[in-house]
Amino acid sequence: MFDSILFHVMIIGLLGVASQWLSWRFRLPAIVVMSVAGLAIGPIFGLIDPKEDFGHLFKPVISIAVAIILYEGSLNLNFKEISGMKRPIIRIVTLGAFIAWIFGSLAAHYVAGLSWTVALVIGGLFIVTGPTVILPLLRQAKLKQRTAAILKWEGIIVDPFGALLAVFAFEIIKIFTTDGVHPSALLLFLAASLFAVLLGWGLGKGIGSMMERGYVPEFLKAPTVFVTVIACFAVSDELMHETGLLAVTAMGITMANMSISSIKDMRHFKENISILLISSIFVMLTASLSMNILKQIFDWHILLFVALMLFIVRPLSIWLSTIGTDLTMKERALVGWIAPRGIVALTVSGYFAESLLEAGYEDAHILTSLTFALVFATVCAHGFSISWLAKRWGLAVDDKPGVLLIGSNRFTVGLAKALGEADVPVLVADESWRRLQRARAAAVPVYHGEILSEQTEYRLDMTPYEYMIAATDDDAYNALICNTFVPEIGRNNLYQLSADTERRLASVDYGQTIGGNTLFSEEATWAALNEKVEHHYIFRKTELTEQYGYEQYVKERDEGAVLLLILKTTGKVLFYLKGSSLKGEAGDIVISLSPPVKEVNKMKEKIAEQRKLH
């Protein structure tokens, strides 16, 4: 009853997404959770065997998934992002990759006991990291923009080059060791690689131009790109194995740098697809392993090889390749440590294991075990250590979720100052330098620029900010900002001030999905809040205790006070919304906009005391 392919597909998808959710909920490395889930349902309990279930479709499904994931990653590679960082990135993906290949091959030969042929092939393959493992780690660790960009670019650029380097090494070896193989085969490989780049560039340019000129309707843009990516990969890969990855990478980078107006929508669609594919494919691959492969992993030659790759080969290749760059010692150390291997390494090593065994290299039988050992060791070691190391070395953003306020005015500046005094990361953004003058005078961090501009994506690091408040005097603009940032921040964490109560109450035709959550109450409009601040209302912070609880605070609060938010002891920020039923606990801080009654009374008492003295 439950032994059908349909049921197995459901199990794989369910476990993949559940693994992503568990990793998010408990701050665990997603790749590790997915690997454990795959091992549990595969070799450990023997519930499914995807390789047997899918038969001949297993490899094509994995290959297409990898192509889509790699394209989605390369769609984020806009050259504007690496302004000022081109030198270290170029050095890492060229010189660093070459050094890693040489030292990795030496380790494979002298430590893992592989022949020079197999060692050179696997050494080239193991330079890959890739978006399937790097992007989830970067999302988890919240690295600062500079370090994250280096790791992301290296992972996506080196991914196809690692596979091609392994093919290149294999082709050269066949020329010198196999009778009947002519050196022209090498020229054919180089020509196929060049064709892959040109194909990817041509398809990227063509599809991008068609979209900009309106030849593709909005509802067909994502499907058109989707099938074009598959076609790009399939055509190139049929001509020469593994060049398909190079083709889709070239296509993605081309489109990323064309300033296509709808690129953001496509990027979000592809990101959602990629997350689902990464989750499912990792579960499938680990579930396809056998117990013999798992037992083989514990061979001391394999374990020593993995240790050398982690602690010697990777750090040394980054250290040597970044000499003379402007990377700090801590940045070089973190980049030199983080290099998890993923789906590309697993899938391509399987192809080479079969090809090398057919060519008579019997030692190639341990390639799958060797690869999985390296993959699992790196995703565990780097997944559990990246956040800790990044925080320790100051390369990660603050743990506390920050608040980004759009629009500089009396209210937002006062709120930002109150949040800053409570150690909450905060930033006020506005396109007007004149309006920002108030924030700068209050020593509040500011960003000068249009938040909806494409340049903002590269000039402003959004990582520290978990909440966004659109607080300008224009309802429509506030709604537009909130809609734009739904994919990055999430609708639950997007808020806006009501600029005009009557307009919002009258707009019964507005969809509930338009704009952000309206803050505080319908009466607490932009004008009303700014008027209160102008009349010397105070942003008051009240800490709740066991003796002075939330109920007592609400009962005794000043008449006319506007409850704004609660700062939880965990660092989470809970904003008051219309009809919300928030409740504080001991240790929480309630921030309100209150009349200056207490301050006025204190001043009167002080004046009275001074008069008595005189």
In contact, 195 and 164? CB cutoff 8 Å: no
In contact, 118 and 349? CB cutoff 8 Å: no
Is residue 94 classed exposed, middle or buried when 0-12, 13-18 and 19+ CB atoms within 10 A define those classes? middle
Show the domains of the chain with their CATH numbers.
5-392 (1.20.1530.20), 402-605 (3.40.50.720)
Mean of per-residue pLDDT scores for the chain: 83
Spans of the chain, pLDDT less than 70? 1-2, 81-84, 130-132, 175-183, 262-271, 454-455, 458, 500-514, 597-614
Strand 517-518 vs strand 562-567: parallel, antiparallel, or unpaired? unpaired
Tell me the C-alpha distance between 446 and 420, whole Å. 12
- Which pLDDT does position 1 carry in this prediction? 47
The encoded tokens of residue 277 equal 């594919």
- Which pLDDT does position 605 carry in this prediction? 57
**Phi and psi angles of residue 590, each rounded to the nearest 5 degrees, phi first:** -100, 125
**Phi and psi angles of residue 2, each rounded to the nearest 5 degrees, phi first:** -105, 30
**Phi and psi angles of residue 436, each rounded to the nearest 5 degrees, phi first:** -75, -10
Tell me the C-alpha distance between 438 and 434, whole Å. 8
Picking from 302, 355, 331, 530, the residue whose alpha carbon sits closest to that of residue 435 is: 530
Residues composing the chain: 614
- Which pLDDT does position 251 carry in this prediction? 92
Which residues are CB-contacts of 102 (< 8 A; sequence separation ≥ 6)? 123
Which residues are CB-contacts of 357 (< 8 A; sequence separation ≥ 6)? 364, 365
Write down the pTM of the prediction.
0.74
Cα-based distances in Å from 591 to 73, 553, 576: 41, 11, 10
